[in-house]
Every structure is written in C-alpha cells, then in structure tokens.
Amino acid sequence: GESLIVNDAYADSRFNPEVDRETGYRTRNILAIPLFDKKGNILGVFQAVNKLRGGFSAEDLELFTLLGGYASSAIENSILQAKIREAYREAVMRLSHAAEYKDPETYNHIVRVGLYTKLMAEKLGLEREVCENVMMATPMHDIGKIGIPDAILLKKGKLDDWEWEVMKRHTLIGYEILRDSSSELLQMAALVALDHHERWDGTGYPAGKRGEEISLWGRMTSVADVFDALLSKRPYKEPWTLERTVEHMRELRGRSFDPQLIDIFLDSLDEVVKIRERYRDEEQ
C-alpha cells in the first residue's frame, strides 16, 4: 500500500525480468502509486515506466500521487455507477414481475421478451444504450394487469364483452403507472405498456393506432410477446410448435405486425430460438 520509485528495475529483486523477455520491452525505471477508495481499500495501482530523461524524482512522485487521487475518484465513481445501474435494473425486473404474481405468465417470459426486443433493436442499428433500455422497458408491458380484478384476470373461460373492456384497460393502467417520469427508461416503458396491443392495421387497442402511429417500442413488444406466448403453455392452451408459430406470425405481417420488424425477427430466428432455449420455462 506504499508508493514506490525504482530507478534501476534490473537491480531490484522484486522486478520480474520475464515480463520484458516475453514482450521484447526493456524496463529501466518504475514509479508506482497505490490507488485507494474513500475507505482506504486498494483499488489498483497507477504505474509509470521509463521516464524519458533520467530517473523518477520526489517531484514526480508528488505529481503522480495527485493524479492517482483523481484516478481513484474516477474509478470509485465508475464502480458506484455500475452498482446503481445494476440495482436499478434489478428493481425494474422485479417491478415487471409484479404483474406475473396475478397472471399465469412466467418470469422467464418477461426475460425472453426483453432479450427478443433487444435483438431487434440491435438489428435496427440503434445505439447500445437504447438497446439496453429496450431490454429493460419491454418486460414492463403488462404491469397494468395489477389493476385488473382477479375474477377477470384469472377467469378460465371466455371473457364477456364487459369483462373484455375491463381487461383492455391494463394498457392504460400501465401507462398511468409509468408516465411522467424523468427517466428515459420509464418513459419508454410507459409507451410499451400503452401500445403493445395496438396492431399495424389499426384494429388493436386501446386507441386503434395504425402503422408508425404506434411507438417503435410497442411494435417491437407486440412481435416478441405474441411469438413467446404462442410457444408457451398456458392454463387455457397447449404450446404451439415453432413451425406453426412462425407460419402464423408471417400471416400477420402487415396486419398485426410491423412488416420490417417481423422480417428482422424471423430472419434472426436462430438467435431467437437460442434465447428461448437458454431461458426456457421449467415445466417445458
């Protein structure tokens, strides 16, 4: 944990010359500064090698100690931000899973939806941060179901007209829960909740939007959610085969689904299937 100046590396027994032999480099002198966090724990080492003129001095040590302090702060802040992002991501996934306690869909279903939509976003060439946000926002598509009465949400038979109108409100409830946030992620998730049952031809709900009136995030989620639901076992249905599911999705191109997105999705079917296999439901 101490700073170190070595002005003749080969004369110091602590230096390992094998490093130079393997790299073809010739180390003459070294200045090493330990990097500490605010609690005094070592984060790493800030090292300078081979001063251009002469050896390292006390003045060099003072300067590099100052620079090392800045580096320590930057590293610690980066670690803290990574921890915050991970905690935020976990909180979002737990929020997404909240609706699943009332609905028969599985936790892995929402994970797969997130990964399918991230794959589509990547294929569209969207920025990395946007792709990450898509992956975390789209699993929140059904968060509004926490506002639907159990008698309707868990009904095994067909819903009557009034019950169906109540069920469709989960899109609006989800939007109200997530809207007005300063977070770009939650703004995206609000649109996902609102639009994921809209259809390309304008026959969806809640607003009957059509084409690009529907948010890109909602259009992505629609493709991913329907595909995964068809392949999954539910209390009211057996899982479809992959072949039947793909054929059905193609039939709905330009009707339910954005033609460009369905083409991207089905052209990436090998990657899609790998995601599904990796996060398959336990009972399947």
Is residue 158 annotated as part of the catalytic site, yes or no? no
Upstream peptide bond of 206 is cis (omega within 30 degrees of 0): yes
Task: Find where tokens 């006390």 sit.
Answer: 58
Q: Are 163 and 183 in contact (CB under 8 A)?
A: no
Cα–Cα distance, 176 to 79 (Å, whole number): 34
Environment class of 166 (CB within 10 Å of its CB; exposed 0-12, middle 13-18, buried 19+): middle
- Catalytic choice (38, 83, 145, 233): 145
Cα–Cα distance, 213 to 198 (Å, whole number): 10
Helix (H) or strand (E) holding 6: strand 4-6
Q: Rg of the Cα trace of the chain? A: 28
Catalytic (active-site) positions: 145
